[in-house]
């Protein structure tokens, strides 16, 4: 005989709407904070050191937030909320750095960067599109871009995969893991037709 059919708890429509609203509000708040931060560009060595320290803090917070996915009654929704904050924060960290560096040393990039340009450049690097309209020219700026590219793969790649695994582990912890979900692979299998009966 097959294993007993289990059902994942389904959140109410109000819960889903609230989670989506919180996710959108969080992402918007991160970018509004970036727009309002007093990034004067008067820092020197502190800019690079600040970026490194902030990335370390980011990783520590990301680990704690991913753990909260496992404990959540609705792991998939919690994962959405976590990623809706962490990914914009990651983008803003590098955008802020590029903006400050471009103001400190205008020759660091082939064009002057506004805050919007810095976000655009960061997302271009993150998406590995590489349009080439904005290019890091100075060695320090190229090092920062290289760090971002590695972090894109290591931090965000691992973050998204770990969040997916946390969702699966959260379902298993509740005794509601769908058949075919593999925690090792980070799968979140869809309910089987039998689960809809």
How far apart, in whole angstroms, are the C-alpha atoms of residue 17 and residue 37?
30
User: What pLDDT digit, counting tens, does each position of 107-130 carry?
Assistant: 999 999 999 999 999 999 998 887
pLDDT in tens, 29-38: 999 999 998 8
Q: Domains (ranges, CATH) in the chain?
A: 43-180 (1.10.287.70)
Rounded to an integer, what distance in angstroms lies between the CA atom of residue 178 and that of residue 110?
52
Provide the whole-model pTM.
Answer: 0.76
Region of residue 196 (left: phi > 0; alpha: psi -120 to 50; beta: else): alpha
- Per-residue confidence band for 75, with pLDDT thresholds at 50, 70 and 90: confident
**Which has the minimum average pLDDT: 41-50, 53-62, 174-183?**
174-183
- In this prediction, residue 4 carries a pLDDT of 52
């Amino acid at each position: 005989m097959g294993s007993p059919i289990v059902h994942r708890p389904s959140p109410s429509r109000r819960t889903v709407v609230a989670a989506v609203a919180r996710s959108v509000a969080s992402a918007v708040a991160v970018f509004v904070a970036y727009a309002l931060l007093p990034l004067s560009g008067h820092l020197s060595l502190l800019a690079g050191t600040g970026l490194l320290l902030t990335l370390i803090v980011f990783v520590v917070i990301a680990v704690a937030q991913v753990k909260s996915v496992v404990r959540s009654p609705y792991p998939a929704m919690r994962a959405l909320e976590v990623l809706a904050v962490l990914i914009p924060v990651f983008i803003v960290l590098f955008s802020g750095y590029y903006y400050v560096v471009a103001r400190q040393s205008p020759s660091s990039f082939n064009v002057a960067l506004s805050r919007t340009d810095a976000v655009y450049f960061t997302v271009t690097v993150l998406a590995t599109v590489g349009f080439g309209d904005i290019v890091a020219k100075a060695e320090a700026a190229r090092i920062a871009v290289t760090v971002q590219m590695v972090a894109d793969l290591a931090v965000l790649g691992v973050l998204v995969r770990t969040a997916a695994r946390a969702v699966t582990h959260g379902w298993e912890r509740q005794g509601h893991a769908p058949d075919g979900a593999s925690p090792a692979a980070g799968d979140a299998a869809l309910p089987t037709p039998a689960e809809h009966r």
